Amino acid sequence: GGEEEPFSSACAGLMPPRLPPPVRPLESLDSLVSAAWHQLDHLVSGAQADLGGTWVCPGSFLGSRVPVSSLNDGRCDCCDGSDEERHGTRCPHVCQAEALEALKAMNRTRHTHEAGAATRAPLAQAGDARKDHLRLRLPVLESRAMEAQTTFQSVQQRLIASRQIYTPQGDRLLRSTYDSAVAAVLEANRAQQIVSTDFGSDSALLALEGQCFASPELNEKQIKGGTSNVVVRSYVFVLCPFANVTQTEPSHEAWRRRDAQEKGNPASSGPRVPGTEPAPVLLGVWQGWAHQKRRKVDDILRHPTHELAMVFGGGEACMNGKHRQVQATLFCSEANHVAHVSEDGMCSYHMRLGSPLACSAERAGQLHRQELEVRAKLAQVDSSDQQQQTPKDTSAQGRDEDSVPASSIDAVGNEGASGGTAPQQHGLHSPDSKRQGEGRRDQARVEVEVGI
């Protein structure tokens, strides 16, 4: 009957969504042929191409790579300009400057992971203990939920048979029994969800369960990039990990009055009518992790570029009938906070939640080893340059403009923490080399290589 509907929905487990694999954009036949030709050409000639279809920039201290389809296209992609040797484009040599900037980024990211991992450690012990407790308690909770549902059905049938269901006393009894049954079912369902969810091998992420984090008040232009409203509306997004995401409008009353004034409708700009405030909008309920089932949370936490993403679906329907959904990405931060909210198309939202629980000591160790490797390479080049210089070369006029003193390398660690600026370098090539370098994609590539 209709009375049993709440229990069937409450007992239903939330299954992770079956997401389709990402679709890669199709490349034109010309670009594929060009890529294959460049790859074959450079492999035969013993150049720096590899079988993955990428060109290894030989002068890069970071092992930077560019697609072979980008070779000799007139744009400087490698920091040493090696990708344009056959085109004739004169590229500035900025490998040391690139490495110094990357070191700063690695240093900042490493310190964040170290600080977050320190905060994460005690929470992991509490998470493990809570999950073990719920695992042992789950059979009791499930049995209690079944008994509560049976009791409600029995009371309902008895009250209907005696016609006491229409009396105030019978109505109160039925409501009380119903509320107890719903609470028992929800408690059992929540425990089952926690026990079956991957919170990492140490269950530290379980510390986020039961908490909610609100975004700053954001206007429609910040969220969507534009609006059709005369007066821009503002919203607050509340993310409750492993539970739901909602949207509220705390400034609705102020917006209503101003919007009415702008439209020349003074009657609508009067005092607020009780009960007209918009209720929170449900954007989605927890569905699971976005990554595939065969991949574990621990693997993603220590991966240099991948991030955990929570999927929330089944939100309230939009005007077009589509139900709202949210993908919330977790990233390493020293404090819990909602850092970003955007709406990608109608009723599809993206959020970023910073948390120390997304930090990893293993990732900090990886970054530290990368830093040491890059520093060693820079120091080796600097030492070699100094040995080759004559007394005349070490003067201010004879110094190679592309060299970087060892003191600059040693200072990177301190500059990384304070946001200092790396020394600028200048190429010694043709006058238009600056213009040719304007199309460089160095920074984007550096970020990919170091995983920031």
User: How would you write the pLDDT of the chain (452 residues) with one tens digit per residue?
Assistant: 444 444 343 334 444 444 444 433 434 444 444 444 344 444 433 345 554 588 889 888 888 888 888 888 888 989 988 888 888 788 888 999 999 999 999 999 999 999 999 988 888 888 888 888 999 999 999 999 999 999 999 999 999 999 888 899 999 999 999 999 999 999 999 999 999 998 988 889 999 998 999 999 988 778 887 776 667 788 899 999 999 999 998 877 777 777 676 666 665 555 555 556 678 999 999 999 987 666 888 888 888 778 899 999 999 998 888 999 999 999 999 999 999 999 987 889 999 999 999 998 889 999 999 999 999 988 888 776 666 665 555 444 444 444 444 344 444 444 333 333 333 333 333 334 444 444 444 443 433 334 44
Q: Distance between CA atoms of 345 and 283, rounded to whole angstroms?
A: 14
Cβ(239)–Cβ(351) under 8 Å? yes
Q: Distance between CA atoms of 383 and 14, rounded to whole angstroms?
A: 61
Cβ(331)–Cβ(352) under 8 Å? yes
Task: Please report, for the chain, the start and end positions of each structural domain, with discontinuous segments joined by +.
Answer: 36-84, 209-358
Sign of the CA dihedral 265, 266, 267, 268? Answer: positive
Cβ–Cβ contacts within 10 Å for residue 97, how many? Answer: 20
How would you classify the pairing of strands 348-355 and 325-332? Answer: parallel
Q: Please give the structure tokens belonging to residue 161.
A: 């048979």
Q: Distance between CA atoms of 37 and 159, rounded to whole angstroms?
A: 83
Q: Distance between CA atoms of 66 and 54, rounded to whole angstroms?
A: 5
3-state helix/strand/coil string of 139-167: HHHHHHHHHHHHHHHHHHHHHHHHCHHHC
Cβ(325)–Cβ(311) under 8 Å? yes
Assigned architecture for domain 209-358: Distorted Sandwich (2.70)
Cβ(399)–Cβ(385) under 8 Å? no
Q: Distance between CA atoms of 232 and 237, rounded to whole angstroms?
A: 16
> DSSP assignment, residue 3?
G
Q: Please give the structure tokens belonging to residue 105.
A: 């980024």
Q: Distance between CA atoms of 120 and 131, rounded to whole angstroms?
A: 16
Look at residues 195, 194, 214, 157 and name the one whose alpha carbon lies nearest to residue 336. Answer: 214
